[in-house]
Chains A and B, each alone.
Chain A
Amino acid sequence: MALISRGRWWPILCVGIAVTILAVYILLVASNWIYLGWHDTVYFFSKSRMWERFWLTVWTSTVSTFFSLFIGIPAGYALSRFRFPCRYAIASVIDLPIVVSPAVVGAFLFGITTRFPFDWISEYYGVYIGRNVYGVLLVQFTVTAAFCARLMKASFDIIPVRFESVSRSLGASPMRTFFKVVLPMAKNGIVASMIVVWARAAAEWEGLMLFVGATEGKTDIMPFAIYLDWNGGMMGWVTSMSIVCILMAVSAISAMRLIGGRSNVW
């Protein structure tokens, strides 16, 4: 009775739910290990096929993160500082590739590659765009560029505008202000966001399924290889690779937290 009258049940309820959900999530993430067992974990992790795919994932997502940052940092700054008509509508269009289902993005890429810049490239060089590793980079870029701009906007939003106006009133050009004042101040946020963008690129696979297709050792970055091996009945590979993916995601987020930058989604 005392419990109810003083509202003590509320914190108990909150903490109870939190702990229960935490337990479920830990079980969810750890179930792969329990399923795989120690002996198999050692076996699969010592195979070269695992590490080849790991490096493929790492380099493709690094390259596409690079391109995304190149576009995303200035775009994020523009979205954060400039005021223009239909701002929200335009920002929504930029955000579309991350809010719609990635499979839909894959379907749309399937259509766009038969159009202007892409059909020209594929005709000129005689390559099938979308059936090789460049398709992987294109899918990753499409999703992460928008994601990157969004994270960058949030990073720049945190920095007060005052510093810029002070710098400019002291005679610095806007370009100089951006590189000497804004970028150094946003450094932590940018590095943190970069890691998140990298992890997001490494997690992209639904687009690949519709748009790229599988070539052993060439386009099967890890999350996609999970789908392919799942269809080959190789549960050992599937679970050991999902352990690697989980470790990649967790270590990326831990690295971000160590750096101490904040990166907001919305």
Chain B
Amino acid sequence: MKTVKYVLFFVIAFCFTLSSQAFGGEKALLFHAGLGQRGALNEVKEIFEKKNPEIKVNFSYKGSGYFIADITRSKQGDLFMPGEEFYLMQAVERGFLTSYNPETDIPAHFVTVIITPAGNPKNIKCIEDFAKPGVRVGLGNPKSCAVGIWHQKTFEKAGIWDKVKKNATLSAKCIPELGNAAQHRAIDGSIVWGTTAVLYLRDVDIIPIEHQYRGIIRLPVGVLKFARYKEEAQQLMDYILSDEGRAIFHKHAYAINSVIPVDKDGFCLDGTTDKDMEYLVNAAKAVKDESFPVNKDTVGALIEEVERQRKTVRAGD
């Protein structure tokens, strides 16, 4: 009987400690963000929490398309950062966002690149190669992830959408799924953001796309109207939009030029992003080849990323 009493006492004491911990005074923001932004946002969170110790940031990472359902039903969350302006506009139309200014609320841009497994087994060099019979293509599902919209757009512009659709072997629910599939050689090629490709430098080859098919995707951020801590959420958003915040995004292979000329569909018009693409290709070479020089001229802001992935054979950290 005695032991039982002790155990009971322990349980009750434990419950109290737990509950006091739970409902203590820190302000926790809930940040809905697309899975593709995970690396950069985790770094932003670390620095932001160090600067503002009383604010904690909790993320809910998913494929961008899943958020509309989540937010409509749960009406929870403070900030919203899907991987495509399209999804944010849906939220704006429903009046979920306090304010959104398309001119200023864009911290960074994604740029589309082709990835293939290391060694490029099917020898994919340009967009048209995806239509070749026998190439296993991974496509995103536009219902759930932002890259799916761009697959359709890009291949429709090249006039090969029907043929590419026949080649599809994988329908991805979020963009890392495409990266994983290329890494494990389940597909022969796909189009993803440069920021996703940079996570797989050791296991994939990166091929820049020619200007007319190179998509520039605006990455928006907004404060939700159900936010419990509006001021803190605004503070975090301002930090993301500051130069310091943008620099973090640049380290993860986002394009942060404030003006990138694009046509009405969002395809690139000139060589503003060429330099970034060159850095990305060099970074892929540098990780695979130890003798490749790594400095500001060859890989630009991607130095940290390259050094991180050079440390181990399998990506981590």
**Chain A residues close to B by CB (< 8 Å):** 35-37, 39-40, 43-44, 47, 63, 66-67, 70, 125-128, 131-132, 134, 179, 213-216, 218, 228, 230-237, 239-240
Contact = CB atoms under 8 A, between A and B. Distances in A.
Interface string B29-65: 0100001001100100100000000000011111000
29 contacts: A36-B313, A37-B313, A40-B316, A43-B316, A63-B14, A127-B23, A128-B76, A131-B30, A131-B58, A214-B60, A214-B61, A215-B58, A230-B176, A231-B35, A231-B38, A231-B61, A231-B177, A231-B180, A232-B199, A233-B176, A233-B183, A233-B315, A234-B199, A234-B317, A235-B203, A235-B314, A235-B315, A236-B314, A236-B316
A233 B312 contact: no
Nearest to A49: B317
A134 B18 CA distance: 9
Closest 10 CB pairs of A and B: A236-B316, A236-B314, A233-B199, A231-B176, A213-B60, A215-B58, A237-B316, A235-B314, A40-B312, A125-B23
A232 B1 contact: no
B164 interface: no
Contacts of B174: 231
Contacts of A35: 314
Interface string B173-193: 010110110010000000000
A131 B314 contact: no
**A interface secondary structure, majority:** helix
Nearest to A179: B1
A126 B176 contact: no
A231 B176 CA distance: 5
Contact of A215 (B14, B59, B180): B59
Interface residues of B, number: 38
A218 B205 CA distance: 34
Nearest to A240: B316
Contacts of B176: 230-233
Contacts of A232: 38-39, 176, 199
A126 B177 CA distance: 35
B211 interface: no
Contact of B59 (A39, A128, A216): A216
B30 A128 contact: yes
Contact of B179 (A36, A214, A228, A233): A233
B311 interface: yes
A179 B35 CA distance: 52
A142 B177 CA distance: 30
Contacts of B14: 63, 66
A239 B184 CA distance: 13
B228 A126 contact: yes
B4 interface: yes
A235 B177 contact: no
B11 A40 contact: no
B279 interface: no
